[in-house]
Amino acid sequence: MKKIITLLLLMSLSISAFSTLVTFKVSMKGSEVDYDSVFIVGIHTDWAFVEMADEGDSLYSVTMNLNAGDSTAFYFITIGWWASDYADYRETVPDECDFSADYAIPDPWDGDRGLEVPAENTTFAYVWGSCEEPEEPSGIPENSEESLSFTVFPNPASETMTLAWGNYVESGSIEIMDLSGKIVRSYKFHGSISEYSIDISDITGGIYLIKVYSENILDYKKIVIN
């Protein structure tokens, strides 16, 4: 039975090859907004609030697995629930980059950002409440185009997984996210390492994304937990 489940998961993983990893980023720098956390909400989240990760330097991000060609409308907000005064906590999207009407949102819902999911993994980054793209966080090294490329084994797995790099990486973080972008586990590592093992025995079986962040460089992999 376990082999059948694993086979089905692998088939699902193969099907999802037509999906795209989309990273949403928002810079709060200079926004003069009081906040403890930042969330994204929109069509692709089924209008559920998804908390974004703090990357430092007032930059927040979340990565989601979306279907290429799908359309979505969304915005950023600093509370994670539908409060009666939620509009006081959401960003105001300028008219010149309010494309929500082009992405299946009727006129009463104007005021959202919008996009069509591309075929290739991509990042959409904005400054809170503006049409501008944020500057890169301070402290990003000149070799920021380098990859944290790693391998994960075994994959699929049910008890533990090991991440291995071809060289040493410095202190950083590891996050396991479901395909909606929700973080289900997070880990920290310190010092120079070339391998790191994580316990996944209490995570519900399924397909997940594993994200590694170190020295302002990101890398992602799909994993199967059974």
What separation in angstroms does the CA of 94 have from each of 90, 130, 195?
13, 6, 46
Given a cut of 70, is residue 150 above it in pLDDT? Answer: yes
pLDDT in tens, 96-107: 888 766 665 554
In this structure, the number of other CB atoms found within 10 A of the CB of residue 225 comes to 20
Question: What average pLDDT does this structure show over 7-19?
Answer: 46
19-127 with 150-225: one CATH topology?
yes
In the chain, domain spans: 19-127, 150-225
Please state, in angstroms and rounded to a whole number, the distance separating the CA atoms of residues 6 and 206.
Answer: 9
Distance separating alpha carbons of residues 103 and 71, to the nearest angstrom: 6
Question: Is there a contact between 213 and 183 (Cβ–Cβ < 8 Å)?
Answer: no
pLDDT score at 178: 86
pLDDT tens, position by position, 34-85:
999 999 999 889 999 988 877 778 888 887 878 888 888 899 999 999 999 9
Query: pLDDT averaged over the chain?
Result: 80
* DSSP annotation of 9: H
Residue among 72, 84, 85, 83 at smallest CA distance from 41: 72
Minimal CA–CA distance to 218: which of 23, 36, 72? 23
> Tokens representing 119?
């075929």
User: How much is the pLDDT for 34?
Assistant: 93
The stretch 134-145 carries a mean pLDDT of 48
- Spatial contact of 21 and 220, defined as CB atoms under 8 Å apart: yes
Fold exhibited by the domain 150-225: Immunoglobulin-like (2.60.40)
- CATH of span 19-127: 2.60.40.10
